[in-house]
Copies of this chain bind each other. A is one copy, B any other.
Amino acid sequence: MKIGVIGSGNAGQTLGSALVKQGHEVKLGTRSIPKLDEWLQQINDDRASAGSFQDAAKHGDIIINATAGAGALEALHAAGSANLQGKILIDVSLPLDFSEGALRLFVVNTDSLGEQIQRAFPDVKVVKTLNTVASALMVNPRSLADGQHDLFISGNDAAARNEVIGYLKEWFGWESIIDLGDITSARSTEMLFALLVRVHMSLGHSNFNFKVVR
């Protein structure tokens, strides 16, 4: 499958590498293509490539938004709505603002970054997921407790949610994905980040995830 990844930081590179290893043709979209030379050399696979945000959006049958949240809308506008139209956009970004020292979410409570993206690109099928775990766990859930922990998914299009649930299982081995319904539920998983930070501080590492015991 052709996959375009918008954003070339830690999450984008980790997702990109895992997807190439699964046999997919992955183009990472970035503001600075030379920044990805090292990634391309490390991965050393013709199915990996780098380009602009627009190149990545054109390339992908499916798009992943792995930008830092503060730059998400700008990057997606640069990618171009015509290049995103009708496609599934897997949104893993978080609305984090560290500008005042302590962490705050720049959108919260009555709105979410997932919803902002869906409103800005109404013809795109935004599916929020993978935003509640560290990058290493996103692509390798079985490395922790044999995968016995949960992921959440939000999005207005039920068929798109189900399609992405299938990809998460096939690509990375996620076993338990809790469908939270429409994109307004992205508020709840974005707001979980506040607890992730505090649990991280308490445990001293990020190799953990939540399980809904029921």
Chain A positions within 8 Å of B, measured between CB atoms, are: 102, 104-105, 108-110, 144-145, 148-149, 152, 178-181, 185, 187-189, 191-192, 194-195, 197-199, 201-203, 205, 207-214
Contact: A213 with B208, CB < 8 Å? yes
Contact: B212 with A208, CB < 8 Å? yes
Contact: A213 with B202, CB < 8 Å? no
* Cβ-defined partner of A194 (8 Å) among B178, B187, B207: B187
Residues in B with CB closer than 8 Å to A187 are 194
Docked complex Cα distance between A211 and B176 (Å): 14
Residues in B with CB closer than 8 Å to A213 are 144-145, 148-149, 208-211
Grouping DSSP codes into helix (H, G, I), strand (E, B) and loop, the A interface class, with mixed when no group exceeds half, is mixed
- Minimal beta-carbon separation of A207 from chain B (angstroms): 7
Docked complex Cα distance between A71 and B199 (Å): 29
Docked complex Cα distance between A195 and B150 (Å): 13
Residues in B with CB closer than 8 Å to A108 are 108-109, 191
The 8 closest A-B pairs by CB, nearest first: A188-B194, A188-B195, A208-B214, A149-B213, A191-B191, A180-B198, A188-B198, A211-B211
Docked complex Cα distance between A110 and B104 (Å): 6
Quick one: which of A181, A199, A203, A208 has the most chain B CB within 10 A?
Answer: A199
Residues in B with CB closer than 8 Å to A194 are 109, 187-188, 191
Residues in B with CB closer than 8 Å to A185 are 198
Known contacts A179-B202, A194-B188, A195-B191; decide if A214 and B210 are in contact (CB<8 Å): no
Contact: A199 with B211, CB < 8 Å? no
Docked complex Cα distance between A199 and B180 (Å): 7
Residues in B with CB closer than 8 Å to A178 are 199, 202
Quick one: which of A181, A191, A192, A197 has the most chain B CB within 10 A?
Answer: A191
